[in-house]
Each structure stands twice: as C-alpha cells, then as structure tokens.
C-alpha cells in the first residue's frame, strides 16, 4: 500500500516542540515535510545532552532528532526579501503550512491564513499557539510550561496538600498538542480532497492542557469547586494509592473497582483475614476506615522489596504497576515488543535509539528510524523544485551568485 500522505507536501515554519512534532508525525505518514529554519538553526537543534546536564558526548540533540525525523531542511532568513520571495514559491507547491509563529509575526511576514489562502484557496494553514488566536493574549509567547501546565491548574493539581507544585518535564504538553494538530490537519485534508477548499486548523497549548486535564476540569466546571486532593495517608480508596517498599522504591495500586479485586488482593498480600474484617468489608467501610487501612498497607509494603511484591501481586493478576525509573522503563520488554523504540543510523552521531510514533497502521510501516536533516541540507534541491533559477537560489540563500 502507498503511504497515507504520499504526495502531500508540508511546509513547516516552526521551532521547538509542538508544531515540529506534528510535522514529524506527518512525515511518518508519508508526507514530504520541508522544515524552514533560520540560517544558524534553532536553539532546540543545538540542545545537545551535555548542555542539559548529562554526562554524554552525544553530538546531536536527540529530542530535536525525534521531533524532526524524516524531514528536509531549508535554511532561510525571512527578513531578506529574496528569501521571502523564494518561500512564496515553495508554498505554491504545498498542501499544508504548519507553523507556530505568533499571530503578529505571521502578519508581519505575510504568512497569516487570510493572506496565504487568498493566493492558494486550497492551502491548509495549521497554527499552533500558546493561548489561542482570540483575546488579549493571542500574541503572547508561551511554552507548555506556562500555557499548558501552570495556567490550566494542572501544575497545582499534581501535588499533595502540603507539597510544592509539580515541575513539568520537557515537551509533555507539546507532544499532547502535536497529536491534536495532526488530527486537525488530517480532517482538513479530507475536506480539501472532497471540496478543494482549504481551511485553518488551530490548536493551543492552553486548550490542550484543559483537555488533557478534562476529567478534573469537567467535574470542577459542573460542581463549581476544585477537585479534592489525593491524600496518600487517607486515600478515598486505599487500593488506588501508591506506597513505598522496603528498598526505597514505590508501587502504585490502581484497583478503581475495589470490590472486584479486594478478595484476591487480601490473598496476594498475605492477609486473608481482612476479607471478613468489618472495617474493610466493602468499599464504603474501607472509605470510612481509609486512614487505618492506608497505615496498615504502608507498613505492610515496607516489609518487602519492590521485586518481592511484584511476584506476589502479579500472581493474582491485580491492576498495579511498579514505579519505574526512566532508565528502567526504557528496557521494558512489553514496550519493546510493540515497537515503542527504534534504532536510528545518524551520519554524524552514529547509531542510537529513539521513540517512535504512538500509532501503528497495518497497511503502512512507521518505523521512526530516520534522522532529522542537517541544517539547510536540502535547500538547493527544494528551491530548484519550486522553480527558482540558480541565481535566485543563491540570492535567496544569501550566497554570492558568482
């Protein structure tokens, strides 16, 4: 079968994570993605591990490589008229303009949807913003740390009552937003194929944050109050809680339907007598005596190591998980059996592993094993394809025509 997006060309004018990650997923689906970068390359490209606190000599930025795999690179200074004219010619052959430029900058460069679609009615303009395109903050810059995490209540919600707000790991909200962006682009492409009309696809980090936090947000909207905080020492359901083990590790019980699992759980932890204990005989008694049961479980789990508990809990097919470190999780046999990771052969950095797209298609392989392009590596070829003469290419790229 042909690739789902074979013949689709995407021009990406974006930096950092969310929009480029969407571009990488489109490339995985078979689109020709042209990444337009500034001549020196964006900061994300140069964020090699040792600059981020790792003791590593790896020569590339692995996260940039993941979010830009399979693309072609065109380096242009859009402040130069010749470069801007060249971009117009590249856009003439595009199906999608993918960008995270702020609304004001889009207007400044005449890349806003109204302008580009007046010349190309079939073009799909996919725009990733921090705070949306309406309201007083439409032109406000933001990362997922601010728009997705802190502003939505997400950051405050993920802490214990007396704890500090939780810090977000890099790219978490961005990668969530990239999935929404790809969904919108695919829907717009289907409409374009049927009607010939393009449209604008809009995704914001702010909206994505509320959506990912949707269960709590929906309850808070209906109830008119903040969600009750999870308290580990008096969890409403002690079988939906996390506990430390004897070796300083943690395990996470996630038996939301506690009635179903309570008998087997009592057997697994070596306390069959708890099944008939009136304090714990039913979800409501366990709720009323949650502080007592949580204390019992805390002491119990502290008696054995995580590995020892793994054997006991797995024997009864209970719903739980060991709290893994990232380095442990990257060795997960189940993840590897399902192609979560792929090996990349990079011309400079050598062979390394990365994370693949979180979707599989039975009719199209998505191995995720291509490297990101070197800065500007495909510039001349892309501009030739767009119909530029050699002297125009040289001028657009800031080179001496001679």
Kindly report, residue by residue over 145-179, the tens digit of the pLDDT: 999 999 999 999 998 888 899 999 999 999 999 99
Is the pLDDT confidence value at 102 over 80? Answer: yes
Is the pLDDT confidence value at 188 over 70? Answer: yes
Name the CATH topology of 232-325: formyl-coa transferase, domain 3 (3.30.1540)
What tens digit of pLDDT does each residue of 106-132 get?
Answer: 999 999 999 999 999 999 999 999 999
What tens digit of pLDDT does each residue of 219-272 get?
Answer: 999 999 999 999 999 999 999 999 999 999 999 999 999 999 999 999 999 999
Q: Spell out a b/e string for 159-190, using b for 16 or more CB atoms within 10 Å of the CB, else e.
A: eeeeeeeeebeebbbbbbbbbbbbebbbebbe
Structure tokens belonging to residue 242: 């996390």
Percent of the chain having pLDDT more than 90? 97
According to the model, what pLDDT value does residue 128 have? 98
Q: What is the mean pLDDT of residues 177-205?
A: 98
According to the model, what pLDDT value does residue 161 have? 83
| Secondary structure (3-state) at 99 | strand
Q: Could you give the angle at the alpha carbon of 386 between the alpha carbons of 384 and 389, nearest 5°?
A: 45
Res. 401 pLDDT band, cuts 50 70 90:
low
Is the pLDDT confidence value at 306 over 90? Answer: yes
**Mean pLDDT over all residues of the chain?**
96
- Non-local CB neighbours of 21 within 8 Å, separated by 6+ positions: 66, 67, 171, 174, 175, 178
Neighbours of 348 (CB within 10 A): 8
Tell me the domain boundaries of the chain: 9-214+339-396, 232-325
According to the model, what pLDDT value does residue 170 have? 96
What tens digit of pLDDT does each residue of 32-71 get?
Answer: 999 999 999 999 999 999 999 999 999 999 999 999 999 9
Q: Which helix (H) or strand (E) holds 322?
A: strand 320-322
CA atoms of 147 and 105, how far apart (whole Å)? 19
According to the model, what pLDDT value does residue 162 have? 86
According to the model, what pLDDT value does residue 402 have? 58
CA distances from 247 to 238, 250, 265, 291, 305 (A): 21, 9, 21, 23, 5
Res. 1 pLDDT band, cuts 50 70 90:
low
In this structure, what DSSP letter does residue 378 have? T
According to the model, what pLDDT value does residue 399 have? 85
Query: Against a cut of 0.85, is the pTM above it?
Result: yes
Query: Are the C-beta atoms of residues 123 and 94 closer than 8 Å to each other?
Result: yes
According to the model, what pLDDT value does residue 290 have? 98
Burial (CB < 10 A; 0-12, 13-18, 19+), residue 76, is buried
CA distances from 368 to 3, 33, 372, 378 (A): 14, 14, 11, 20
Q: Hunting for tokens 């950051």 — which residue is that? A: 155
| Secondary structure (3-state) at 219 | helix
Hey, what CATH class is 9-214+339-396 in?
Answer: alpha beta
Neighbours of 37 (CB within 10 A): 22
What tens digit of pLDDT does each residue of 72-99 get?
Answer: 999 999 999 999 999 999 999 999 999 9
How does strand 200-204 pair with strand 240-244? unpaired
Res. 216 pLDDT band, cuts 50 70 90:
very high
CA atoms of 313 and 105, how far apart (whole Å)? 56
Query: Are the C-beta atoms of residues 31 and 116 closer than 8 Å to each other?
Result: no
Neighbours of 359 (CB within 10 A): 11
């Amino acid at each position: 079968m042909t690739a789902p997006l074979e013949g689709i060309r995407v021009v990406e004018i974006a930096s950092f994570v969310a929009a480029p990650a969407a571009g990488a997923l489109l490339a995985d689906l078979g689109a020709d993605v042209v990444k337009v970068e500034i001549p020196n390359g964006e900061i994300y490209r140069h964020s090699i591990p040792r600059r981020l606190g790792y003791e590593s000599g790896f020569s590339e930025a692995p996260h940039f490589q993941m979010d830009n795999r399979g693309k072609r690179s065109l380096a242009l200074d859009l402040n130069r008229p010749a470069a801007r004219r060249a971009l117009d010619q590249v856009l003439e052959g595009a199906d999608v303009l993918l960008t995270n430029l702020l609304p004001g900058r889009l207007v400044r460069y005449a890349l806003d949807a109204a302008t580009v679609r007046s010349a190309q009615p079939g073009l799909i303009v996919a725009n990733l913003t921090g705070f949306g395109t309406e309201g007083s903050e439409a032109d406000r810059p933001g990362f997922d740390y601010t728009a997705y995490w802190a502003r939505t209540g997400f950051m405050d919600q993920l802490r214990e009552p007396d704890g500090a707000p939780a810090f977000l790991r890099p790219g978490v909200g961005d990668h969530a937003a990239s999935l929404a962006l790809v969904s919108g682009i695919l829907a717009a492409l289907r409409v374009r194929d049927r009607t010939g009309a393009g449209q604008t696809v809009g995704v914001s980090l702010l909206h994505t944050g509320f959506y990912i936090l949707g269960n709590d947000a929906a309850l808070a909207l209906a109830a008119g109050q903040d969600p009750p905080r999870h308290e580990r020492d008096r969890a409403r359901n002690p079988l939906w809680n996390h506990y430390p083990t004897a070796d300083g590790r943690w395990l996470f019980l996630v038996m939301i339907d506690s009635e179903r699992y309570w008998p087997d759980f009592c057997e697994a932890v070596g306390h069959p007598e708890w099944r008939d204990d009136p304090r714990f005989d039913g979800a409501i008694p366990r709720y009323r005596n949650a502080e007592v049961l949580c204390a019992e479980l805390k002491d119990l789990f502290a008696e054995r190591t995580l590995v020892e508990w793994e054997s006991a809990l797995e024997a009864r097919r209970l719903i739980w998980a060991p709290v893994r470190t990232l380095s442990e999780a990257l060795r997960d046999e189940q993840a590897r059996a399902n192609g979560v990771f792929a090996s990349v052969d990079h011309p400079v950095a050598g062979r390394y592993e990365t994370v693949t797209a979180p979707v599989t298609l039975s009719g199209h392989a998505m191995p995720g094993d291509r490297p990101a392009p070197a800065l500007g590596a495909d510039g001349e070829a892309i501009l030739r394809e767009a119909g530029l003469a050699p002297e125009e290419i040289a001028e657009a790229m800031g080179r001496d025509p001679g």
